């Protein structure tokens, strides 16, 4: 078992253990937001399917209209009209125009459009106060060309991409099955919210904060009944867990005699690493149990969330084959000092804001790993290398919480 790894080395071991899922499901468009595309998609159509007008006005021959001005308008005969979806049958000849509405096909013969506000209608004739423009024609295939791939395997299905898939002619989309992620809280003192809190008890928050993070990363959280601090109930729960792609436990990975996750895995699984040089989250454990990747998040509520972001989220992205980075980074000016840890990379909870053309970041206050409020008030982590505190006014590296920015 490796111990006391850097973030980079630990992440490499995590990603090595994650085998991208191959199972494809077909989802209706409206159910596909947030899923990950399982295949490249080529457009079934050209868009526009035929050259059409970008404006309401009159289609005509550009050459007829070059001299048109307010003082010297040009008169054309209106020979018909074409609403969107209804082509004008026939040809536009010199001296003629067809009234068109945005999205309508450009009639044969016409090569330009004059906007309605630059015209004056008089019975079967129209006066043009300006030359007609070729730029207001959207050429066939300007947006999409039939047979060309515009969406790719591994793309997250954002609203824009779902809309694009619809425009390309797809009613259902091939997506990667969501990874099923078991979430198991451990600890004798941990009590379900809603139950009376006994002396020394603490409500189970980890199962719910981590379930939210799993769902946000594209996984399907499966909250398992919490277990007490004994190896036998952990083993039983693991066997019952059913078909999972990843198991996340919280608690029980530190030094205490009741640290059952570590004990069980030392005997029955393979621990790939234990402890990473970070704060919070130092005692993170990563293992496999009967081929199942198992991430043992530390029990402190902040530690559980931060380690999920740094390791669990990249692991889920790998299972899903997502090609976008699991989180972003930026630099911001520190509005408060941030204290480093002397020996570990520190992730301080902070509030990130955009003020006067700059990102600015301020501490959420008490940085104890037990203060879950910091994750609710905060929307970002300030990253400090070991021993490198930041003074007020200094530029610092920031990881915004996914979904909060
Ligand atoms: N002698 C040492 N003690 C500790 C060390 C150490 O290096 N030497 N590391 C500390 C660090 S850092 C962390 S983080 C914790 C992690 O410990 P465990 O993963 O074993 O977690 P527990 O002991 O089970 O719980 C820690 C803390 O979190 C609360 N908790 C646990 N589960 C939940 C839950 N589902 N919802 C809400 N709160 C939960 C629990 O009550 C404890 O207060 O170890 C330090 N100790
Ligand atoms: O790593 Mo612990 O998570 O510092 O509290």
pLDDT 10s digits, 355-369: 999 999 999 999 999
CB 253 within 8 A of CB 311: no
CATH superfamily membership of 28-47+151-176? Molybdopterin biosynthesis moea protein, domain 2 (3.90.105.10)
Average pLDDT over residues 246-262: 88
Q: 52-138 domain in CATH 3.20.20.70? A: no
Mutate to test the pocket of ligand 1, among 254, 306, 347 (most ligand atoms within 8 A of CB): 254
Average pLDDT over residues 165-176: 98
pLDDT in tens, 72-89: 999 999 999 998 888 999
| Protein residues whose CB sits closer than 6 Å to any atom of ligand 2 | 279-282, 298, 300, 303, 369
CA of 286 relative to ligand 1 center, distance in Å: 16
Average pLDDT over residues 151-178: 98
Q: How far apart are CA 313 and CA 316, in angstroms?
A: 5
Q: For 236-319, list the strands marked E by DSSP.
A: 246-250, 270-276, 278-279, 285-289, 292-297
Give the model's pLDDT for residue 229. 84
Decide: helix, strand or coil at residue 134: coil
Give the model's pLDDT for residue 401. 97
Identical fold between 2-23+178-320 and 52-138: no
CATH entry, 2-23+178-320, from 3.40.980.10, 3.40.920.10, 3.40.50.720, 3.40.50.300: 3.40.980.10
Average pLDDT over residues 48-70: 97
330-400 sits in which CATH class?
mainly beta
CA of 282 relative to ligand 2 center, distance in Å: 5
Q: Whose CA is nearest to atom 5 of ligand 2?
A: 369
**Residue-range domain boundaries for the chain:** 2-23+178-320, 28-47+151-176, 52-138, 330-400
Q: Is 316 a pocket residue for ligand 1 (Cβ < 6 Å)?
A: no
Q: For 40-100, list the strands marked E by DSSP.
A: 41-42, 52-53, 57-60, 74-82, 96-100
ipTM of this complex: 0.97
CA of 299 relative to ligand 1 center, distance in Å: 4
CA of 7 relative to ligand 2 center, distance in Å: 14
CB 234 within 8 A of CB 253: no
Q: Dmax of the chain from CA atoms?
A: 95
pTM: 0.91
């Amino acid at each position: 078992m490796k111990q006391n790894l850097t973030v980079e080395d630990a992440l490499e071991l995590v990603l090595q253990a994650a085998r991208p899922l191959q199972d494809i499901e077909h989802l209706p468009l409206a159910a596909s937001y947030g899923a990950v595309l399982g295949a490249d998609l080529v457009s079934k159509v050209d868009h526009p399917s035929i050259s059409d007008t970008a404006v309401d006005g009159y289609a005509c021959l550009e050459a007829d209209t070059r001299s048109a001005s307010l003082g010297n308008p040009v008169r054309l005969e209106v020979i018909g009209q074409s609403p969107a979806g209804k082509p004008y049958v026939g040809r536009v000849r010199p001296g003629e125009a067809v009234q068109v509405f945005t999205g309508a096909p450009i009639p044969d013969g016409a090569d330009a459009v004059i906007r309605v506000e630059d015209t004056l209608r008089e019975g079967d004739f129209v006066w043009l106060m300006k030359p007609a423009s070729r730029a207001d024609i959207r050429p066939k295939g300007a947006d999409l060309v039939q047979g060309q791939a515009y969406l790719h395997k591994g793309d997250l299905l954002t609203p824009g991409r779902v809309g694009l898939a619809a425009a390309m002619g797809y009613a259902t989309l091939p997506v990667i099955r969501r990874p099923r992620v078991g979430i198991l809280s451990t600890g004798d003192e941990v009590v379900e919210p809603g139950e009376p809190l006994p002396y020394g008890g603490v409500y189970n928050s980890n199962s719910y904060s981590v379930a939210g993070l799993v769902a946000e990363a594209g996984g399907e959280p499966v909250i398992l009944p919490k277990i007490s601090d004994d190896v036998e109930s952990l083993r039983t729960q693991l066997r019952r867990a059913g078909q999972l792609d990843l198991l996340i436990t919280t608690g029980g990975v530190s030094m205490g005699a009741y640290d059952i996750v570590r004990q069980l895995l030392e005997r029955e699984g393979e621990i790939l690493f234990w402890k990473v040089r970070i704060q919070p989250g130092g005692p993170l454990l990563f293992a496999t149990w009967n081929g199942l990747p198992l991430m043992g998040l530390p029990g402190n509520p902040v530690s559980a969330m931060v380690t999920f972001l740094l390791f669990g989220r990249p692991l889920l992205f790998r299972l899903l084959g997502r090609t976008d980075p699991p989180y972003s980074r930026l630099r911001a000016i520190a509005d408060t000092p941030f204290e480093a840890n002397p020996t570990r990379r520190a992730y301080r909870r902070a509030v990130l804001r955009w003020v006067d053309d700059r990102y600015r970041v301020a501490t959420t206050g008490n940085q104890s790993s037990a203060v879950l409020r910091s994750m609710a008030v905060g929307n970002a982590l300030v990253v400090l290398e070991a021993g490198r505190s930041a003074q007020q006014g200094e530029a610092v590296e920031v990881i915004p919480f996914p979904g909060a920015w």
